[in-house]
Amino acid sequence: MHLIRNSLAFVAWKDRKAILPAIKAIYRAENADMALVRLEEFEDEWGKRYPAIGQAWRRAWEHVVPFIAFAPGVRKMIYTTNAVEALHRSLRKIIKTRGSFPNDDAALKLLYLAIKNAGLRWRRGVEWTAAMGQFAIQFGSRFPGSAR
């Protein structure tokens, strides 16, 4: 998701509606080979006008490919769930609102309580049930609750 947002930062406002479907075709491809074909198609069509986008995708390609291996429902759940970012934001808020801590243990205790409270507020993503089944198949005994 961040790669898409960063890609659009290079695009003139008038071209965004035309470019977005081509970018979406890359990360919605059925497999890594098709995603690479879609990236090449994007570069053929838009590469001269916006070369930085293709270069950014190629630099990040090794990080993009593992997500393409997941089923579409799992991919959607991954890139629409901001649980990690929300947790990070809440931890930063806890630390920044305190001027200082008497010792390291005090800071660790505060972080522990923040993580514990964040777990109470967390909700499952839209596609979580389908994603759990796919995770159980793909990761087997490493995924909690899977058949062993």
Q: pLDDT digits over 97-143, tens only?
A: 887 889 999 989 999 998 888 777 766 666 677 777 777 887 777 77
Predicted pLDDT at 85? 75
Q: Which residue has better confidence, 144 or 53?
A: 53
Res 148 pLDDT > 50: no
Query: Residue 122, Cα to own-chain centre: how many angstroms?
Result: 17
Model-wide pTM > 0.75: no
Res 92 pLDDT > 80: yes
Predicted pLDDT at 38? 95
Confidence of residue 25 (pLDDT cuts 50, 70, 90): very high
Domain boundaries, the chain: 2-69, 79-142
CA separation for the pair 94, 18 (Å, rounded): 42
Burial (0-12, 13-18, 19+ Cβ within 10 Å), 15: middle
Average pLDDT, the chain: 83
pLDDT tens readout for residues 1-14: 578 888 888 889 99
Can you say whether the dihedral through the CA atoms of 101, 102, 104, 109 is positive or negative?
Answer: negative
HSE-up of residue 3 (Cα within 13 Å, Cβ side): 19
The mean per-residue pLDDT over the stretch 39-57 comes to 93
CA separation for the pair 50, 42 (Å, rounded): 10
Predicted pLDDT at 73? 74
What's the token pair of residue 72?
């579409």
